[in-house]
Amino acid sequence: MKSSKTNIRSLNLTQLEEWFIQSGDKKFRANQVYDWLWKKGVQSIEAMSNLSKETRNKLSESFEFPALQLNKTQLSADGTMKIRFITNDQHFIEGVIIPADDRITACVSSQIGCSLTCAFCATGKMKRERNLYFYEIFDQVAMLNRIAEKQYGRGLTNIVFMGMGEPLLNYSQVTEAIEKITSPDSLGMSPRRITVSTAGIAKMIRKLGDDQVRYRLALSLHAANDEKRSKIMPINDENNLESLITALNYFFQKTKSRISLEYILFKNVNDSMEDAKQLVRLARRIPCRVNIIEYNPVEGTGFEKASEENTQRFANALEQSGITVTIRHSRGKDIDAACGQLANKD
């Protein structure tokens, strides 16, 4: 049965103040509650320890607090952590923490499952159950931040929306979550350290430009010609490369923010010198940098990772043509936490 209580996180500060005044309590308590909700990022009314038991009881009578709960934590040999969360309606989602010398990055999910069916991806084989709510996306960041502080002695510095789901198909909730994550009244993270990664929805990329978002944008490209890309990523049928190039240039014109092109190298699929040439031609048409990503084979997909030698040759060809390129070695392979591997496996 659906609860008749209001979700406490749907109220803004003014509404919380009104609630306290109406229930005969002090207005300033709203600030305390707001702090617990968005600055400390707790997942229950019970955890608001500087409120009296009576106030907490009153809050619990009026409000519900649907939140993610920690379900499972796995630590990789390379220090990467995969964290499984359970939603209030009993779905699993996953987030990953990737520590490096100069940063700690959290990779978060935006949907439960995914409706797109990228051929190389484990999440794409799952049914899309539903979009995540903004507070569930926020919970991932707040909880991963606490875990990072405990595990590595420092909090998150960067966030990438590269976990389960296509963030631009859940735009309003992703936007609201990022507003909270970046607000000075909340976690106060810099939007320049947040990257939203899309499989490529031209209309939504243009919308990001119109909305002049302050976070960074990455496109999962993975092939620089339409025929090949449509085979790997069926979304390319309705959002071909020309439409994406136009949309990305529009985004740049509106935001002045350079785009990252993500390119997973698959053996004998997109790792030839001809593929590199096509990628160079495409990359020259967009203000961008290219990230070459090492693939972690996902069972049953038939895709394999390109050889080390080919990866280097491919990157060199780009570099020699004046493209800014970085090779990203995959992390957390032993716990299925790498790109495209998130599928709630045990």
Residues catalogued as catalytic: 94, 339
Phi, psi of 234 (to 5 degrees): -60, -20
**Distance, CA of 178 to CA of 41 (rounded, Å):** 14
Q: What is each CA distance from 141 to 38, 58, 236, in whole angstroms?
A: 11, 28, 30
Choose between 200 and 209: whose C-beta lies nearer to ligand SF4: 200
Of 124, 205, 286, 338, the one binding ligand SF4 (CB under 6 A) is 124
Q: Is 337 in the site for ligand SF4 (CB under 6 A)?
A: no
Q: Is 199 in the site for ligand SF4 (CB under 6 A)?
A: yes
Minimum Å gap between C-beta 302 and ligand SF4 is 15
Name which of residues 138 to 167 contact ligand SF4 (CB under 6 A): 164-166
**Distance, CA of 346 to CA of 335 (rounded, Å):** 9
Choose between 157 and 301: whose C-beta lies nearer to ligand SF4: 301
Please tell me the count of residues contacting ligand SF4 according to CB under 6 A.
Answer: 12
Minimum Å gap between C-beta 164 and ligand SF4 is 6
Choose between 116 and 196: whose C-beta lies nearer to ligand SF4: 116
Minimum Å gap between C-beta 258 and ligand SF4 is 22
Q: Is 67 in the site for ligand SF4 (CB under 6 A)?
A: no
Q: What is each CA distance from 51 to 19, 35, 61, 248, in whole angstroms?
A: 15, 12, 15, 48
In one-letter notation, the amino acid at residue 98 is I
**Distance, CA of 246 to CA of 101 (rounded, Å):** 36
Q: Candidates 29-37, 115-123, 152-160, 329-337: pick the segment binding ligand SF4 (CB under 6 A).
A: 115-123
User: Among all residues, whose Cβ is closest to ligand SF4?
Assistant: 124
Residue partners of 200: CB distance under 8 A and separation at least 6:
219, 220, 221, 233, 235, 236, 239, 244
Helix axis angle for 134-152 and 171-182, nearest 10°, is: 40
Of 16, 51, 68, 116, the one binding ligand SF4 (CB under 6 A) is 116
Choose between 199 and 290: whose C-beta lies nearer to ligand SF4: 199
Q: Candidates 44-52, 120-128, 210-218, 300-308: pick the segment binding ligand SF4 (CB under 6 A).
A: 120-128
Minimum Å gap between C-beta 116 and ligand SF4 is 4
Choose between 99 and 165: whose C-beta lies nearer to ligand SF4: 165
Q: What would you measure as the largest C-alpha separation in the chain, in angstroms?
A: 72
Helix axis angle for 241-255 and 202-210, nearest 10°, is: 10
Q: Is 118 in the site for ligand SF4 (CB under 6 A)?
A: yes
Query: Contact, 224 vs 281, CB < 8 A?
Result: yes
Of 16, 97, 114, 298, the one binding ligand SF4 (CB under 6 A) is 114
Nearest to 235 by CA among 186, 198, 189: 198
Q: Is 95 in the site for ligand SF4 (CB under 6 A)?
A: no
Choose between 284 and 345: whose C-beta lies nearer to ligand SF4: 345
Q: Is 340 in the site for ligand SF4 (CB under 6 A)?
A: yes
Q: Is 338 in the site for ligand SF4 (CB under 6 A)?
A: no
Across the chain, how many H-helices and E-strands are there?
Answer: 10, 14
DSSP string for 196-240: EEES--HHHHHHHHHTT--SEEEEE---SSHHHHHHH-GGGGTS-
Using CB under 6 A as the criterion, which residues of the chain lie in contact with ligand SF4 when the complex forms?
114, 116-118, 121, 123-124, 164-166, 199, 340
